[in-house]
Structure 1
Amino acid sequence: MSIDAFRTDLACGLPVTVRPLTQRDRGALAEGYRRLSPDSRYQRFWVHTGEVMGEKMLDRILRQDPENHAVWAVLDPTREFPGIGAASFWRSENDPEEAEFSCTVLDGDQRRGIGTLLLATVWLAAFRVGIRRFTGYTMPENVSAIRWMRDTGAEAEWDGYKVIFRWRLDDLQPIPATPAGAALAERLSELAPKLLPD
């Protein structure tokens, strides 16, 4: 297994594999998208897109460029369909120290710490290439996402249409002592030796 793939356990004890997606995962990504509920697809992509992910979207997501864009997935190898969540960062063209963060977890696997595991993973992968801030966006009705982002230390701003969140990747002090914040801090500590250079 390469340095950019690792095994860990969810809080419930389930062993999972975490690794970057590649072009070989094209079919699996399309299937994972199909398995999302209509509401989850809308909350992630902000449009009512149906069950089929278009070829252009698949191309865009899977065109990995570790310096500027990466997508990581959490896989449960005991399942017929192993993918249970994925997250990405996209470096800003205007500010090379900032990147957009996004995360999706299958409906039946939410609230199991998968999003926090993915945030910690892409946090460290992005930090490794010089990114120092994450920006995330969500719709105001997505109350659970808003609570999770705040509980993991993101600062929130309302622009009249969407909620904008910002994490400082080079400063762990703002991570609050909430259950989600403590879980994030623990994951960052666990994964730093795996994902950051010596």
Structure 2
Amino acid sequence: MRVLTRTLTGAAATGAAVVAALGLAAGPASAAVTSATVTGGGSFSAASGAVVFKDATTGFSVTCASDTVAGVAPNGTYTTGAPTAIRVGSLSSGTFTSCAYALGPLSFAAQSVPWPVDVTGPTSAGVTAISMPGAVLHMTGACAATLTGTVSGTYSDSGHSLSLNGGSLTASAVSGTCVGLSNGDTFTLTGALIFSPATLVIQAV
């Protein structure tokens, strides 16, 4: 019998507060996009104080306190993939560590990189919808699993920040002490990643 464990407490609340403080909780709805222009681009890294992996099937959640990703978004104007998803860059690495779990430490690492970084809607008030399809994350530690699917969010030009706001990741190869997690469960990913250098601007229409 599945026992549910809910771990979204202090650290997760901190992550939510970061997102709210940055004004990134809400983003533009996806709509047809015809072109996307990147300026101030190139190689980037991004870090977060807290990212939450939540099982939308059961409510099980894990909060990771130390998170870093890296990738590239070259300068240019792009149209390939319009009107649904225009590729503007890629993510080459990602690690999520210091993850709170009652039965032991956990960590997540990006697999099958690079992940594409796509613009999925026009920019509104300096905020652009972003999607990373083909995402694969491997969870290790007290509980092991592979999460596969799409990570989504919104990028803020003024904050040079990516607000992760859900997506859909399906769990497979679940093993170990995984209380509240089963194969086929769907995960969402939330948190705010701050980019460095703080130069990247994405404008889509």
TM-score band w.r.t. shorter chain = under 0.3
Give the number of the structure whose alpha-carbon radius of gyration is greater: 2
Structure with the bigger RCO (C-alpha within 8 Å, sep 6+) is 2
Q: Determine which structure has the larger helix proportion and give its number.
A: 1
Q: Determine which structure has the larger strand proportion and give its number.
A: 2
TM-score (norm 1): 0.25
TM-score (norm 2): 0.24
